[in-house]
A and B are shown apart, each in its own frame.
Chain A
């Protein structure tokens, strides 16, 4: 895929992420038996925040959204898997550094939780990647996709998809794993001190990240053999949308877990799904 096309897809993702968030808010509201805000509400929220004063300005907010946007670009470009993972992790690091630099006790606790979560969730995701990479014999995303299209779904890829789906809620920062923010415990935790444009950038980055994770699963882990060009784009968009829908439904159906329970859950996922995926892929099935 050319740089131009990847660039266009990235910009499209950045612009459309708040809309998708708005649709998901509406969907969640329907599950709650509420009317919910109009679907363009997230744009209004961001616009309002950009117009407000910033009392805790930090370059980390810009870095955060830049990291997520670059990761989107690499995925759209079907580039190097390792830089993708690196950028995604770097965005989490930005968030943690921001919360720690503010010195608010709630933020510090939230930052600590974010670190604990990505220490355990990152390997779950990395193992899923690794199992695909072992089979394709490459760390290039385009090779992974081609391999998936040619050989279809195997046992190891089923485990990899399972691991990705289980890691999804935490990667998106959604319930039952929104521990770093945990509004009813930590009053917003990592983002507690953020306001105005800084908060807007973080929020925008977060909705983009949610879209990115869904896009990743749809694009890499659920192959659609035979689709190319425009049809590939349309199929990926539909799959992405369905995955976001799923994530929102799960979010509405679970209460928040405690950090020890969340870590325990992912420790089990790591053993049951991620390691199995790697084991099967080394066996070549």
Chain B
């Protein structure tokens, strides 16, 4: 019998292991922190694991140390590994793994911002998530910092963007841009029409949902706030949260609930992909198809309302099942909408793909090679369009996916066109799955009653395939009916940094918006403004200080 991946991992680390926790399909290994670089190298380069995310936890109330966890996935084996490193609070440092895995760049900076564990040797140690005026030495996810802590007003701090290379001009794409109406700034360095470099600043409106969940909410409130993480694919967060809690606490939910969750997930994917296809056309100035894609998406939104009561933010999930069933009498109607959407999508995509100008604008634009996908950890359609065959629905089956027939769409064009095609074909697959679910939906209750308190300090990680890629949640259950630590890693967190790899030499300004758009970045809105003196007609830029004062005045009620 072949050695399982679990045995391989344990064998590799057998001398160093301090503690092992083995769960079905999951492995937590505690290692000494000096060993972090070597362990990461073994996982990433020898065992070829896919890097998922890093999480920092303030576990001082439990054992006196901070924890830094690096997560890896073995997609062929449906297996996930967490490497846990304990970091003493008097010396909060750990070697950075970003030199080995570029995709860990953001994650390590986030751990530093929130928990205060310094990644030693990080190539770009600027702030990532915290606002520029946030005081040094206050780490919001440490347990002693209250959830509603407001730092005293400060001024004179500014984010340091990279300097453009000599001869190049900085062109800000965002944080308010006609086709990227989201609080993120891509700073392109351009020479004429050519893009020669880029920088980024995001997280302008970080809402601190993880902190809220750990300090204010209860298990059954979180599904609703999880759904509000994203305005497009929120349901996948809600499902992922629920299934992680359920798995950690050992709750088995009824089969109908699994089917209904899966139905809503696929419905969400169809609406999200059609929305993206429309936006991609809009970015290229193809407004006719933009409008048509949104027109054929409308019945899906209607369907969502019919099934869940809402067009968006379905509110279907609780820990232990779903709140509603899909009534027998509307299923015929839903099937009709599925047929109609399938026919219309095929017809419209045929139009799109026969358009030579569309092909000319997207083919061989924004190339991301398979090796770069591995390094950046890019996910979902972005990865699958580069020939990387990963899909959580098949690799790490969850909910009702083991019972469904579907194909994972993998293309090897590595460009924007392939990313569009992957989404087109996935939409069709999703519609097929929805049809199958409606036909096979079992009868029965959709909810289990949970009588006892969930057992504290058990942990688990799991993932769902959101429209943009793998949505990963890690949970450590806690006391007082709320989790001790809940970490959400949305797919765009990995996909957005991969955009910088797509700006290859030869990229022009015209290619930049569609390249950024091709990963379907999902962010969540705000920034600077200008004041004009009416009497003199002189314009004047607000200093950061003045802007803060105005905002504070406006914020007071």
Contact = CB atoms under 8 A, between A and B. Distances in A.
Interface of A: 31-34, 53-55, 57, 105-106, 109, 112, 175-176, 178-179, 182-187, 252-261
A251 to B, nearest CB: 9
Given A32-B290, A106-B171, A184-B179, 13 more contacts: A32-B292, A112-B193, A176-B357, A184-B178, A252-B288, A254-B355, A255-B281, A255-B358, A256-B284, A256-B285, A256-B510, A257-B357, A261-B360
Interface stretch (B67-75, B422-430, B532-540): B532-540
Contact of B513 (A32, A112, A184): A184
B288 A32 contact: yes
Contact of A53 (B288, B290, B291, B532): B532
Which of A254, A255, A260, A261 has most B Cβ within 10 Å?
A: A255
Nearest to B290: A32
Nearest to A175: B285
A34 to B, nearest CB: 6
A255 B361 contact: yes
B285 A109 contact: no
A61 to B, nearest CB: 15
A253 to B, nearest CB: 6
Contact of A182 (B171, B355, B510): B510
Contacts of B395: none
A55 B292 contact: no
A179 B510 CA distance: 9
A260 to B, nearest CB: 8
A197 to B, nearest CB: 13
Contacts of A57: 537
Nearest to B294: A33
Given A31-B288, A184-B178, A184-B513, A255 B169 contact: no
- List 5 A-B pairs, minimum CB-CB distance, nearest first: A256-B285, A255-B286, A32-B291, A255-B284, A258-B510
A279 to B, nearest CB: 28
Contact of B178 (A31, A175, A187, A257): A187
A105 B357 contact: no
B511 interface: yes
6 contacts: A32-B291, A54-B537, A109-B193, A184-B178, A184-B283, A185-B513
A186 B190 CA distance: 13
Contacts of B360: 257-258, 261
Interface of B: 169-171, 177-179, 190, 192-193, 281-288, 290-292, 295, 355, 357-358, 360-361, 508-513, 532, 534, 537, 539
Given A33-B292, A184-B285, A259 B355 contact: no
B357 to A, nearest CB: 5
A55 B178 contact: no
A31 B285 CA distance: 15
Contacts of A257: 357, 360-361
Nearest to B365: A258
A183 to B, nearest CB: 6
Contacts of A175: 285
A277 B288 CA distance: 34
A187 B539 CA distance: 20
A136 B340 CA distance: 59
Contact of A178 (B179, B285, B532): B285
Contacts of A259: 193, 508, 510
Nearest to A29: B291
Nearest to B286: A255
Contacts of B171: 105-106, 109
A39 to B, nearest CB: 19
A54 B537 CA distance: 8
Contacts of B355: 254-255
Given A32-B288, A184-B179, A112 B281 contact: no
Nearest to A254: B357
Given A55-B539, A183-B178, A258-B361, A253 B288 contact: yes
B281 A258 contact: no
Contact of B287 (A32, A53, A54, A106): A32
Contacts of A176: 285, 357
A252 B511 CA distance: 21
Contact of A252 (B169, B170, B287): B287
Contacts of B177: 187
Nearest to B512: A185
Contacts of A55: 532, 537, 539
B389 to A, nearest CB: 31
B498 to A, nearest CB: 21
B192 A254 contact: no
A221 B333 CA distance: 56
B282 A184 contact: yes
A128 B161 CA distance: 51
Which of A31, A106, A185, A259 has most B Cβ within 10 Å?
A: A185
A175 B358 CA distance: 13
Contact of A258 (B295, B508, B532): B508
B365 to A, nearest CB: 9
B280 to A, nearest CB: 10
B293 to A, nearest CB: 11
Contacts of B512: 185
B169 A105 contact: yes
A185 B291 contact: no
A53 B538 CA distance: 12
Contacts of B532: 53, 55
B536 to A, nearest CB: 11
A207 B177 CA distance: 25
A53 B534 contact: yes
Contact of A112 (B170, B192, B287, B510): B192
Contacts of A31: 288
A174 to B, nearest CB: 10
Contacts of B179: 184
Given A105-B169, A187-B177, A255 B291 contact: no
Contacts of A109: 171, 190, 193, 509
A256 B510 CA distance: 9
A255 to B, nearest CB: 4
Contacts of B358: 255
Contacts of B295: 33
Nearest to A116: B193
Contacts of A254: 286, 355, 357
A103 to B, nearest CB: 11
Contacts of A182: 285, 510
A36 to B, nearest CB: 11
A254 to B, nearest CB: 5
A255 B357 contact: yes
A54 B169 CA distance: 27
Nearest to A104: B171
A178 B361 CA distance: 15
Contacts of A184: 178-179, 282-285, 513
B228 to A, nearest CB: 28
A56 to B, nearest CB: 9
A247 to B, nearest CB: 15
